[in-house]
A and B are shown apart, each in its own frame.
Chain A
Amino acid sequence: KAGVTQTPRYLIKTRGQQVTLSCSPISGHRSVSWYQQTPGQGLQFLFEYFSETQRNKGNFPGRFSGRQFSNSRSEMNVSTLELGDSALYLCASSSKVAGGAFGEQFFGPGTRLTVL
């Protein structure tokens, strides 16, 4: 099975611009989560989508939004970029295992966003 893919891998934007990142989960996985990784804060949860619905949300401002399509692909959008948004954005997918619970999340390589 192909792993989680994220595009683009690297992105440079300037303050005030907006950006859209894309994530394709592992085939058959319906849950997609997004995380922000920064050197000081580690990995911080942004949101999770399941069957095109946002199911969980972290503590990020409304400038961060996402969506999921019927094929489980997901996009994340950040509007009015700030310098502090420079980070590695990771997408992860997971599926239900026997018993109904979700198993571990599988991560993509991430998109490195630099805001100048």
Chain B
Amino acid sequence: DQQVKQNSPSLSVQEGRISILNCDYTNSMFDYFLWYKKYPAEGPTFLISISSIKDKNEDGRFTVFLNKSAKHLSLHIVPSQPGDSAVYFCAASAYGVTGTASKLTFGTGTRLQVTL
């Protein structure tokens, strides 16, 4: 059972435009969400995260939005650059009351291609 879903396997966006990557989750215990970027032959690189107590977190060109009622989050990249071309993974975690790390549950990824 896929608890974190990225329904778009690929996305193509023109340079300078907005890229919107979507992610849905089913487990209501998830309270911490992360986005990772992955280039071929490299490990995933952390991009941005959001706690369930927030609905938006911004870091430079990257903004993550969380809609808890819809169990949906999205990553906005504005403006998109050719170097943003990579596979983007959404991940979720349930910290629980002890505040200890729990496993990350990943989506299957969305391949973003930013064209000139």
User: B44 contacts which of A43, A44, A100, A101 (Cβ < 8 Å)?
Assistant: A43
Is B101 engaged at the interface, CB distance under 8 Å to the other chain? yes
Give the A interface residue count (CB, 8 A). 29
A47 to B87, CA, bound (A): 23
CB-CB < 8 A to A45: which residues of B?
103-106
Given A4-B43, A90-B44, A107-B43, are A42 and B108 neighbors across the interface (CB < 8 Å)?
yes
A17 part of interface (Cβ distance < 8 Å): no
Which of A92, A103, A104 has the largest number of chain B CB atoms within 10 A?
A104
Do residues B107 and A42 form an inter-chain contact, with CB atoms below 8 A? yes
Residue A66 CB within 8 A of the other chain: no
Q: Taking the complex as formed, is B42 at the interface, i.e. its CB lies under 8 A from any CB of chain A?
A: yes
- CB within 8 Å for A48 and B103 given contacts A41-B108, A42-B108, A101-B95: yes
Q: Which residues on A sit within 8 Å (CB–CB) of B102?
A: 56
Any B CB within 8 A of the CB of A108: yes
Indicate if A72 sits at the interface (CB-CB under 8 A): no
Whether A105 and B46, one on each chain, are in contact in the complex, defined by CB atoms closer than 8 angstroms, is yes
Across the interface, name the chain B residue whose C-beta is closest to A45: B103
Residue in chain A with minimal CB distance to B49: A104
CB distance from B10 to the nearest CB of A (A): 14
B114 at the interface (CB under 8 A from A): no
Name which residue of chain A comes closest to B48, CB basis: A104
Chain B interface residues (CB < 8 Å from chain A):
32, 34, 36, 41-46, 49, 89, 91, 95, 99-109
